[in-house]
Amino acid sequence: MTENFYEAFEKYILNQKVTGWGFQHEKKVLLPNGYFAYPSGYFTEYENGYKVIASGATLHKTNIQEAMILDPNGIPVARDTEDTISCDY
């Protein structure tokens, strides 16, 4: 993943029409740097074949939300991770 998430969003996602959505189970993909990634979660697919996939996890007491932009081959090109603050509803 070599691109800044916001730059990749503007380049691949902004102004694209949604063509599908769903859930992707963990899928092993080889990154250009030789490491593996395992993107999974709910996704939105766009007319150019790119996807935005979101997932969440808990690390100890910290909730983590992650978003990735995947190219048409399922390879992540950008990622953004954020700690979320727990709140009572």
Alpha-helical runs (H) found in the chain: 5-8
Length of the chain: 89
Give dist(CA 16, CA 83) in Å, integer: 28
pLDDT tens digit string along 57-76? 776 777 767 889 999 999 89
Phi first, then psi: what are they for 13, rounded to 5°? -115, -45
Q: Which two tokens stand for residue 83?
A: 């700690």
Q: Does the pTM exceed 0.85?
A: no
pLDDT tens digit string along 13-46? 999 999 999 999 988 988 888 888 888 889 999 9
Asked if 42 contacts 51 with a C-beta cutoff of 8 angstroms, the reply is no
